[in-house]
Amino acid sequence: ITLLIGKMEMIFSALRLQMYFTKKNGTSVYYGTQWIKKSDLPKEVIKKIEINILKMGEVLISKKFHGIANFDFMIRNKEMFFIECNPRLVGPSPQMSNTKELLHNLDFSEEFIHASANEKLSSHKPFIPDTKFKGCTVDLDSLKSQLQNIRIKELPKIGYYKIEKTYLEYVSEKINDYNKTNLILLKHSLLPNEKINKNSLLGFAFTNEQMAEIHGNTYSIKENGEKTLNALQWILGEKY
């Protein structure tokens, strides 16, 4: 969850799920984040999250902190356990800029600037907004193991793609195409003739489609999620 802090105001973002999956060899892979609805979690869990994030925000304000704070936490047996706090922009931040319902229908860029400048925020929203948006941010580094030692001979274009069977087809670079549900925004950070290794930074991909689904205390990747990951692997390495 993202928390914006101004002079005395706080704004909570919608919730997102970190998509970790365990491979057959027992290693865990982080694929990215999936935005989720409040109704995906029990009401008592939502209340506990809001209470604890509010307490964290109050502590940060008492320490003269202002700006952005992203909290990672776990829910186990309806109990909340904090993991870390990242006081910076993160992978899913661009989706908050383009999908206002993720931040109480407020302009994320404007509120972020106000918070960073220690100015008053436009609203005080210390609770989680509900959202129907279930898009994802895919961390392309999750594909490195499948792309090890592949040399990039031709850089894929940065822009919007659509999935055609098992591959990606370039559509455009127009920002207005962001809201189209069947497109993937590819924002890689590859270099010409780069040989992919464990230290490579591959970038991100953004989709408005749901990739993971919650089932009670667990979750699984959907068929279209697998299709998206396979298509991204193709465009980054196998195509060339």
Q: Are 232 and 163 in contact (CB under 8 A)?
A: no
Q: Are 203 and 109 in contact (CB under 8 A)?
A: no
What pLDDT shows up at residue 216? 76
What pLDDT shows up at residue 115? 98
CA–CA dist 12, 126 (Å, integer): 6
* 79-86/67-76 β-pairing: antiparallel
Q: What mean pLDDT value characterizes the chain?
A: 91
Share of the chain above pLDDT 90, in %: 69
Neighbours of 120 (CB within 10 A): 13
Q: Are 33 and 101 in contact (CB under 8 A)?
A: no
* 203-207/183-188 β-pairing: antiparallel
Question: Residue 113: is its pLDDT beyond 50?
Answer: yes
Cβ-in-10-Å burial (0-12, 13-18, 19+) of 16 comes to buried
* Residue pointed to by tokens 């895919």: 138
Q: How far apart are the first and last CA of the chain?
A: 38
What pLDDT shows up at residue 240? 44
**pLDDT tens readout for residues 49-83:** 999 999 999 999 999 999 999 999 999 888 899 99
**pLDDT tens readout for residues 19-35:** 998 777 778 889 999 99
CA–CA dist 180, 82 (Å, integer): 35
Question: Residue 239: is its pLDDT beyond 70?
Answer: no
Cα–Cα distances (Å) from 133 to 23, 36, 181, 213, 215, in that order, read: 28, 7, 10, 13, 18
CA–CA dist 212, 34 (Å, integer): 7
**pLDDT tens readout for residues 136-171:** 999 999 988 888 888 888 889 999 999 988 889 999
Confidence of residue 211 (pLDDT cuts 50, 70, 90): very high
What pLDDT shows up at residue 175? 80
